[in-house]
Amino acid sequence: DIFCDEDGTREFQKKFTCPACDTNLSGKLDVIRVDLQPVEQYKSMVLAGQRPEVIMEVSSRALAFWTYQTHQERTYQEYVATKSKEKITQMEQYYEQVIAKTNSEISLLKNQISDKIKELEDLKKRHNEVLEKLMDKSRQYLKLQVSGNSSK
């Protein structure tokens, strides 16, 4: 695996074991620092003087490792994407339930408000009826008082 300098130093400070497969990395060249952005001079000199077979073998191994790393990164990114999709699906389901529950509560409250408005209207109607009866009785009482006073 390839690590940045900081993570590589931290990972291999304690023990020389591959973090992916737990293989012991005790060989002199099992763990090396590599500049992933080498300067032109280094690129010109790194394989200079080697036989073509060595250059091809080194290049072939480098390409194989690069292919492996690229595959590992792709596999990891697919895993991350899958986990993210699963989490999004779970969150969507949760919030759909929250919305459904909230809509149900809103509907219930609207029905309660409607019932209370109807109840209030009924009470106002009864109040007005009782008020009219009271006013009618008051008028009758006044008439009786007036007629009682006039007959004396």
pTM of the model: 0.56
The whole-number pLDDT of residue 23 equals 83
Tell me: pLDDT of 16 over 70: yes
The confidence score (pLDDT) of residue 1 equals: 62
Residues contacting 24, CB < 8 A, separation 6+: 16, 17
DSSP states of 38-103: --HHHHHHTTTT--HHHHHHHHHHHHHHHHHHHHHHHHHHHHHHHHHHHHHHHHHHHHHHHHHHHH
86 neighbors 94 (Cβ within 8 angstroms): no
Going from the C-alpha of 49 to that of each of 13, 42, 44, 45, the distances in angstroms are: 35, 13, 11, 8
pLDDT one-digit tens code per residue, 82-137: 999 999 999 999 999 999 999 999 999 999 999 999 999 999 999 999 999 999 99
Q: In a 3-state reduction of DSSP, which class is residue 24?
A: strand
pLDDT tier, 22 (very low <50, low <70, confident <90, very high otherwise): confident
pLDDT digits (tens, 9 = 90+) for 41-81: 999 999 999 999 999 999 999 999 999 999 999 999 999 99
Phi-psi region of 135 (alpha: psi -120 to 50; beta: other; left: phi over 0): alpha
CA distance linking residue 76 with residue 70, whole number of Å: 10
Asked whether the predicted pLDDT for residue 142 surpasses 70, the reply is yes
